Amino acid sequence: MTNLDAKKIVCIEDEPEMIELVRLILSRQGFEVHGALGGQEGLEKIAVIKPDLVLLDLMMPEMDGWQVFQTLRVNPETSHIPVIIVTAKAQSIDKVLGLHIAKVDDYITKPFGPQELLQSVQKVLAHQQQVQP
């Protein structure tokens, strides 16, 4: 059973366990979570699903999260989709780069708590609704 009003989220991650964790946390709150293993699969899913939000890991083989992010931003079809970086890279310089230079919508470091993930997703989606009527 899919809820037509459910916000769609694509979680791009190279660890299936992390995708399942995110799906477990967010689907309980009514979100529709689609997992993608790696950047290329993530971009393909985003093109088809046209999600309301992308959760993006930075450290992935083949195509890293920054490459995925840049690809999303240069494409007019996807440039408006909010992106939350979810990564084990916890250095403050990475966070500054992400939030202030690359202009990602939020930045969560692993390991994170379910409430932290949920609050970030809700905050970014609420902000997106204010920006786009």
Domain range list for the chain: 8-131
- Output the CATH code of domain 8-131: 3.40.50.2300
Q: What is the pTM of this model?
A: 0.89
| Lookup: tokens for 80 | 């408006």
pLDDT digit string (tens) for 93-120? 666 565 556 678 888 888 899 999 999 9
Q: Which uninterrupted H or E stretch holds 73?
A: helix 65-74
pLDDT digit string (tens) for 49-96? 999 999 999 888 889 888 999 999 999 999 999 999 888 866 656 665
pLDDT digit string (tens) for 9-48? 999 999 999 999 999 999 999 999 999 999 999 999 999 9
d(CA 56, CA 11): 6
* Beta carbons of 42 and 16 less than 8 angstroms apart: no
